[in-house]
């Protein structure tokens, strides 16, 4: 379980660094105010870039430390990108957008969501089992 989380943390960190590099290149070449005015830059594109640039490194650090909020942030990052890629599949494709690259990105996001969901479920079951083994009473009625 830890190996899968570390792998997801490394991919999120790489994803965050890649988007940060994209922001820096666009900002240096065109200026950030001009990059916002690109014809293909919708509000959803900018929100996706912001979520990736900020959320991916934060999720990677929290997952590396096995903190519980790393799962939530990682799921948000993968879900926002999955919605962005689904929108790209449903709208008419412009020049330079190839179906295999979009499908690869969708598969990458789905694998990330599945790994995070499976490890969160396993972690939740283990913590519930520990409560049951110690005989501690939880908040449910009738305990």
What does the pLDDT look like over 13-71, one tens digit per residue?
877 777 787 777 777 777 766 666 666 667 777 788 888 888 888 888 888 887 778 88
Residue 91 in any domain: the answer is: yes
Give how many domains the chain has, as a whole number.
Answer: 1
Q: At what angle do helices 68-90 and 43-50 cross, to 10 degrees?
A: 150
- C-beta separation of 9 from 56 below 8 A: no
- C-beta separation of 111 from 117 below 8 A: no
What's phi and psi for 65, nearest 5 deg?
A: -85, 0
Q: Summarize the confidence of residues 124-134 as an average pLDDT.
A: 53
Find how far residue 35's CA is from the centre of its chain. 24
Residue 20 in any domain: the answer is: yes
- Range of 72's domain? 2-134
pLDDT band at 143 (very low <50, low <70, confident <90, very high): very low
Residue 107 in any domain: the answer is: yes
What is the tens place of the pLDDT at every residue in 96-122?
Answer: 667 777 788 888 888 888 888 887 666
> What is the pLDDT at residue 135?
53
Residue 140 in any domain: the answer is: no
**Which residues fall within 8 angstroms of residue 110, CB to CB, at 6 or more apart?**
82
Residue 141 in any domain: the answer is: no
Residue 142 in any domain: the answer is: no
């Amino acid at each position: 379980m830890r190996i899968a989380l570390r792998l997801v943390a490394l991919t999120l960190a790489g994803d965050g660094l890649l988007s940060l590099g994209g922001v820096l290149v666009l900002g240096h070449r065109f200026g950030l105010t001009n990059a916002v005015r690109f014809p293909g830059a919708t509000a959803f594109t900018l929100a996706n870039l912001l979520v990736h640039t900020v959320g991916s490194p934060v999720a990677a650090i929290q997952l590396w430390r096995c903190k519980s909020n790393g799962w939530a942030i990682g799921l948000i990052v993968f879900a926002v990108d999955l919605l962005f890629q689904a929108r790209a599949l449903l709208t008419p494709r412009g020049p330079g957008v190839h179906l295999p690259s979009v499908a690869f990105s969708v598969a990458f996001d789905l694998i990330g969501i599945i790994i995070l969901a499976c490890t969160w479920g396993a972690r939740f079951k283990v913590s519930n089992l520990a409560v049951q083994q110690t005989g501690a009473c939880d908040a449910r009625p009738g305990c």
